[in-house]
Amino acid sequence: MKERIVCKFGGTSVANAAQINKVKDIVTMNTKRQYVVVSAPGRDSLDDQKVTDHLLNVATNGKHFRMQNESITGQQSYEAVLGKFQRLIDDLAIDGGDIVKNLEKDMKTPLPEVKRLDFMASRGERYNAEVVCRYFKKQGIPSELVLPEEMGLTVTDDFANAQVIPVSYRNIKKKLSSVEGVSIIPGFYGLTEKGDIAVFSRGGSDLTGGEVAFSIEASLYENWTDTDGIYRADPRMIPEAKVIPRLTYKEIRLLSSKGFDVFHYDAMVNCKKRNIPIQIRNTNNMNSEGTLIVSERVPEEVVVGIARKDNIAFIYIERDGVGETIGFVHDLLSVIKDYGIETYHYPTDRDDMTILINQDDMVGYAEDIKERIEREFKPDTLEFNYNITILSPVGIGMKNHPGVIAEAANSLRDQNINIDIIIQGPAQISFHFGLQNYYADSALRALYNRLIE
Given a cut of 80, whether residue 263 has pLDDT beyond it is: no
Burial-class residue 269 by CB neighbours within 10 Å (0-12, 13-18, 19+).
Answer: middle
Calculate Rg over the CA atoms of the chain.
24
DSSP 333: H
Instruction: Please report the DSSP string for 367-383 in residue order.
Output: HHHHHHHHHHH--SEEE
Q: Which helix (H) or strand (E) holds 190?
A: strand 189-192
Mean per-residue pLDDT, 374-390: 93
Give 182-229 pLDDT, tens digit per residue: 999 999 999 999 999 999 987 788 999 999 999 999 999 999 999 999
Residue extents of the structural domains in the chain: 5-226, 305-451
- Compute the distance between CA of residue 305 and CA of residue 318 in angstroms, rounded to an integer: 34
Cα(274)–Cα(1) distance, rounded to whole angstroms? 14
Q: How confident is the model at residue 260 (pLDDT cuts 50, 70, 90)?
A: low
**Who has greater pLDDT, 450 or 113?**
450
Residues in the chain: 453
Model confidence at 401: pLDDT above 60: yes
What confidence score (pLDDT) does residue 45 get? 85
With both helix axes pointing from N to C terminus, report the angle between 113-138 and 17-29 in degrees, rounded to the nearest 10: 60
Q: 163-172, 360-369, 433-442: which range is least confident on average?
A: 360-369
Q: What is the mean pLDDT of residues 256-270?
A: 72
Mean pLDDT along residues 354-365: 90
How far apart CA 242 and CA 305 sit, in angstroms, is: 10
Q: 3-state DSSP call for residue 316?
A: strand
Q: Nearest 5°: phi and psi at 93?
A: 55, 45
Which string of b and e fits 251-261 if b means at least 16 CB within 10 Å?
A: bbbbbbebbbe
Q: Are 223 and 8 in contact (CB under 8 A)?
A: yes
Query: How far apart are the C-alpha atoms of 165 and 193, rounded to whole Å?
Result: 9
- Amino acid letter for position 428: Q
DSSP classification of residue 323: G
Q: Does domain 5-226 have CATH number 3.40.1160.10?
A: yes
CA 128 vs CA 54, 99, 114, 131, 255: distances in Å: 15, 9, 23, 5, 31
Compute CA 24 distance to the chain's CA centroid, rounded to the nearest angstrom: 25
pLDDT tens digits, 130-179: 999 999 999 999 999 999 999 999 999 999 999 999 999 999 999 999 99
64 phi, psi to nearest 5 deg: -55, -45
d(Cα 30, Cα 334) in Å, to the nearest integer? 51
| Average confidence (pLDDT) over 298-304 | 93
Q: Which of 48, 39, 133, 129 lies closest to 83, judged by CA?
A: 48
Cβ–Cβ under 8 Å, residues 178 and 220: no
- Indicate the SS3 state at residue 127: helix
From the options 3.30.200.20, 3.20.20.70, 3.30.1510.10, 3.30.2130.10, give the CATH code of 305-451. Answer: 3.30.2130.10
Percent of the chain topping pLDDT 90: 80
Query: Pick from 302, 288, 304, 290: which is nearest to 248 by CA?
Result: 304
Instruction: Name the least confident of 242-251, 263-272, 358-367, 374-383.
Output: 263-272
The answer to whether 5-226 and 305-451 have equal CATH topology is no
Rounded to whole angstroms, how far apart are CA atoms 11 and 15?
Answer: 6
Residue type, 316: Y
Strands (E), 203-351: 220-225, 246-248, 278-282, 291-294, 305-318, 343-345
Average pLDDT over residues 64-75: 92
What DSSP state is assigned to residue 348?
B
CA distance to 125, 336, 376, per residue, from 355 (Å) = 39, 9, 16
Secondary structure, 3-state, 288-304 = CCCEEEECCCCCCCCCC
The tens digit of pLDDT for each residue in 41-55 reads: 999 888 889 999 999
Q: Are strands 143-145 and 182-186 parallel, antiparallel or unpaired?
A: parallel
How far CA 53 is from CA of 23, 78, 132, 188, in Å, comes to: 23, 11, 21, 14
Residue 267 has a pLDDT of 77
Instruction: Work out the average pLDDT over 374-397.
Output: 94
The pLDDT value recorded for residue 414 is 96
Run of H or E including 155: strand 154-155
- Between strands 305-318 and 246-248, the pairing is unpaired
Residue with more model confidence, 400 or 62 = 62
Average pLDDT over every residue of 382-405: 93
Task: Tell me the mean pLDDT in the region 98-115.
Answer: 94
**258 pLDDT tier (thresholds 50, 70, 90):** low
Q: CA 363: distance to chain centroid?
A: 23
Q: The pTM is what?
A: 0.89
pLDDT at 1: 47
The DSSP bridge pattern shows strands 33-38 and 154-155 to be: unpaired
